[in-house]
Amino acid sequence: MVNTLNGPGPTSREEKFSQLERILGSRAFQGAEILKSFLRFVVGKSIDGQENELKEYTIATEVFGRKSDYDTRTDSLVRVQAARLRSKLEEYYRAEGKSDPIRIQLPKGHYVPLFTQTKLNGEVSKRASENDSSVSTQVPKRPRRGIGIFRRRADRYLLATLIGLNLLLGFMVFWYHSLANRIGRIRPDSSLSAIFSQEISPLWGEFVDSGIPVLIAYSNPAFQGNAVDGMKYWMPMELSPPNLRPPSVSRMTEPNSITDVYTGVGEVIAVNLLGNLFFKAGTPFRVERSLLLTWEDLKTQNIVFLGGPAENLLLRRLPQEQDFVHRSDPNKGGPPKVHVVNRKPLGNEQSTYEAILEGASQSMVTRDYALISMLKGIEPKRRLLILAGITTFGTQACAEYISKPESIKELIKHLNLSTDPTRPRLPDSYQVLLEVKIEGSIPVRTSYVTHHVLN
């Protein structure tokens, strides 16, 4: 058991730096590179006497690489990462660092670290008795009886009043939090966010720990024609030229009208599911329609795509080869049939997986297949995740599967490469095939089928 001294912190630079390196090399901070950079920056500035530079804007631009137009009012990145850093420090001092001589803290609402010394209770008592001999040699004078009685009664009344006020305040806080939770006006607790992030980290770690907002790109296909006279894909998959570049509305010079205002109902629900996931994890994110994205976005962002290459033209020319791909075949008297092709079947796997429709309308689908494709980004530090069903309902089920803690745990078990179940390790790139049962346009059951590890 330790006692934290509230007096001056350690004065030695070497002691402070030594404690910093001890924390950075701990198991608690293993893999949390962005939090290491954050802690190293604020501690270094503090030790060098540059605490006036520890502002939210400075941290955003120098630690997280934000541009000079960073606005603290609209981007909460630094505040979110500061909450995660506090939770990590608490985790470290609860276990590995409980006997450390120096404690480094980041007080709430501030970015200037606090250094305190910790001593064993016995040492503190011994030092106190050595430095203040009057404690054991001087006997305090007894107050006069009348004054003593008055003070004791006043103390009792004051204590009773304080207890009553604390009970009232506690009830009011409990009532407010209950009400706020019901109406959705309270942000998740930072410690709960840290626990949730740790649970999903094997799967989502490179997205939630990157220090930059996750980009959710929902499918936004371009059609020729309009809803009155009929529409068809502006560029079907089988007609994609080998040098296809990501389009933009300004480059569409087709003689017929181009419509680009539609997306699937499953993709809309999927945006909500992923938004809730990142919110609970304390991770900033933004939403963009895929038709507006460019190769530059793939280089600089961690992106979650909703929908396959039929809806997202940018996905048709990815450099990384995939084992499972969407293919489109002509269909006499109807629209082309899209199915999932297994290019490298293993064991008893099928070579083709098709959705089952009980009519011409996509809303009459009863079974679908969806792909979770975790791919490398254009740049080494960036990741690309594609969630795509054959139909829009498969995409919705895919997003739900990868957002629920219980199915995330199931998926981690299937993908785990580590022999230690307490410290799972997933492949760098992989694809997971899911089967989705649908009733009344609602995905009712999603189950794992197989997965491939990609080179």
**Tens digit of each residue's pLDDT, the chain (455 residues):** 344 444 444 568 888 888 999 999 898 888 788 888 899 999 999 988 898 889 999 998 888 888 888 888 878 888 888 888 998 999 899 989 988 999 999 998 889 999 888 764 444 444 444 444 433 344 444 444 444 554 555 556 555 665 665 555 555 545 544 544 444 444 444 555 566 667 788 899 888 888 788 999 988 777 777 766 676 766 555 544 444 444 444 444 444 566 777 788 889 999 999 999 988 888 889 898 887 787 788 888 899 999 887 777 678 778 888 999 988 776 655 556 788 999 999 999 999 999 888 766 666 789 999 999 999 888 888 899 999 999 899 999 999 999 998 999 999 999 999 888 778 889 999 999 999 999 888 899 999 999 999 97
Sorted by sequence, the CB contacts under 8 Å of residue 407 that are 6+ apart come out as: 400, 401, 446
Q: Do both 35 and 163 map to the same domain?
A: no
Q: Is residue 271 one of the residues assigned to a domain?
A: yes
Q: Do both 176 and 257 map to the same domain?
A: no
Q: Which of 186, 206, 240 is the last residue of a domain?
A: 186
Give residue 280's pLDDT. 84
Record the tokens describing residue 323, joined without a space: 């084992």
Q: Do both 163 and 200 map to the same domain?
A: no
CA atoms within 13 A on the CB side of 317: 14
Sorted by sequence, the CB contacts under 8 Å of residue 204 that are 6+ apart come out as: 197, 277, 281, 408
Q: Is residue 130 one of the residues assigned to a domain?
A: no
One DSSP character per residue, 222-257 reads -EEEETTTEEEESS-GGG--TT-----GGG---SS-
Domain that holds residue 109: 2-122
Tell the burial category of 21 from Cβ atoms under 10 Å away from its Cβ (0-12, 13-18, 19+). Answer: exposed
Q: Is residue 322 one of the residues assigned to a domain?
A: yes
Give residue 319's pLDDT. 80
Residue 14: CB atoms within 10 A of its CB come to 8
Give residue 318's pLDDT. 81
Q: Is residue 142 one of the residues assigned to a domain?
A: no
Record the tokens describing residue 429, joined without a space: 């790139």
Sorted by sequence, the CB contacts under 8 Å of residue 207 that are 6+ apart come out as: 214, 278, 283, 302, 304, 383, 385
Q: Do both 98 and 27 map to the same domain?
A: yes
Residue pair 421/292 in contact (Cβ under 8 Å)? The answer is no
One DSSP character per residue, 123-146 reads HHHHHHHHH-THHHHPPPPPPPHH
Give residue 186's pLDDT. 41
Q: Which of 186, 217, 239 is the last residue of a domain?
A: 186
Give residue 155's pLDDT. 57
How many domains is the chain partitioned into structurally?
3
Helices 190-208 and 405-415 cross at an angle (nearest 10°) of 40
Give residue 104's pLDDT. 92
Record the tokens describing residue 203, joined without a space: 């799967």
Q: Which of 136, 160, 186 is the last residue of a domain?
A: 186
d(CA 162, CA 396): 53
Going by the DSSP 8-state scheme, the letter that residue 307 receives in this structure is S
Record the tokens describing residue 274, joined without a space: 């992923």
Instruction: Determine the residue type at 90.
Output: E
Q: Is residue 408 one of the residues assigned to a domain?
A: yes
Q: Is residue 139 one of the residues assigned to a domain?
A: no
Q: Do both 173 and 258 map to the same domain?
A: no
Q: Do both 160 and 104 map to the same domain?
A: no
Q: Do both 69 and 212 map to the same domain?
A: no
d(CA 384, CA 373): 8
SS3 429: coil
Q: Is residue 132 one of the residues assigned to a domain?
A: no
**Where are the strands (E) in 107-194, listed by range?**
114-120
Residue pair 224/254 in contact (Cβ under 8 Å)? The answer is yes
Output phi, psi for 165, to 5 deg. -65, -40
Q: Is residue 300 one of the residues assigned to a domain?
A: yes
Q: Do both 115 and 173 map to the same domain?
A: no
Q: Do both 57 and 165 map to the same domain?
A: no
Q: How far is CA 159 from the centre of its chain?
A: 45
Q: Do both 117 and 199 map to the same domain?
A: no
Q: Is 24 left (phi over 0), alpha (psi -120 to 50) or beta?
A: alpha
Q: Do both 275 and 179 map to the same domain?
A: no
pTM recorded for the entire structure? 0.57
Q: Do both 164 and 197 map to the same domain?
A: no
Tell the burial category of 419 from Cβ atoms under 10 Å away from its Cβ (0-12, 13-18, 19+). Answer: exposed
Output phi, psi for 150, to 5 deg. -60, -45
